Amino acid sequence: MIKETKIIKIRDLLSNEYLNIPTYQRPYKWTIKNVNQLIDDILFFKKRNAYRLGSIIIHKPEHTEHTEHIVDGQQRTITLLLIAYTLKKKGISDFSPKINWEFDNPTSQSNIRTNYREIEKRIKEFDKLSMSFFLDKCELVKIVCTEHSEAFQFFDAQNTRGKDLEPHDLLKAFHLRAMSSVSEIKKSQIVKEWERLAMDELVGLFENYLFRIRNWSRGYSARFFTKSSIIVFKGISPNSQNTAPFAEVSRIAHFYIEKYNNDTDRSIDTHHLDYPFQLDALILNGTRFF
């Protein structure tokens, strides 16, 4: 359920030491163009009483006070953090962010270095007025959900109409949402495998092969793969008790193979049973998608 929705200032956001980025999130991929657009907006609107930058969706599990996972908004948040650190470093601001994240993904590391250098070049355009505007008048809508699935539902609703994410990024989020019963270690392993593929490889894989195969096999057109087309890669949840009869075979196969592979006898005979997947078959949401 939604725990709270409120307007927060950038100072409040970056003072939250309990804020973290889950391991399943995509790498930091904002470009210099994205960074400059954000800085241009801040400087252009600096005489306003307030300026809304967007929203941040948080998953905060019930009965926990010290854990806030960013479900949506991490790209902007990292960039805001870089700006705040640079303002402090250059002596324009005395505000010290409480967030101290570490990034082990090479893509994130590279983009952070590149964007930080760009911010250093632009920071001379900030004066006391724009610094104060940035920290205390730039705002975000903070949506806090106690349920993991509900946080991802908000993510879907916002980004299906957004511009930042590719269709395959939305699919990754959708199928991660279906893995609520899967361990964080398993999720992390799956995401690392996914992120090993370069962006152009993933785009080509979905646009030129997977999307066309699934649509053509049904006699449908498959000219363009867009955000409105991702329904093609959404199926049924293995844990659902209300699936249609034709889906029961897929559910049974899923659970039987899981049981077989996790049986202690597999430690002895070292056998492994693969799920009988076909490119045009019914998709099982969650781990089977990946």
What is the β-pairing status of strands 68-72 and 51-59?
Answer: antiparallel
Residues 261/273, Cβ–Cβ less than 8 Å: yes
| Better-predicted residue by pLDDT, 249 or 160 | 249
The DSSP-derived string for 216-246 is: HTTT---S---GGGGGGG--B-TT-S---GG
| pLDDT of res. 151 | 53
Indicate the DSSP class of residue 207.
I
| pLDDT of res. 160 | 47
pLDDT in tens, 120-179: 999 999 999 999 999 999 999 998 887 655 555 555 555 544 445 678 888 887 888 788
Top-ranked range on mean pLDDT: pick from 8-17, 53-62, 176-185, 281-290: 8-17
Mean confidence (pLDDT) of the chain: 86
Residues 250-267, mean pLDDT to the nearest whole number: 92
| Better-predicted residue by pLDDT, 215 or 24 | 215
Top-ranked range on mean pLDDT: pick from 84-93, 162-171, 196-205, 218-227: 84-93
Indicate the DSSP class of residue 284.
B
Say whether pLDDT at 227 is over 60.
yes
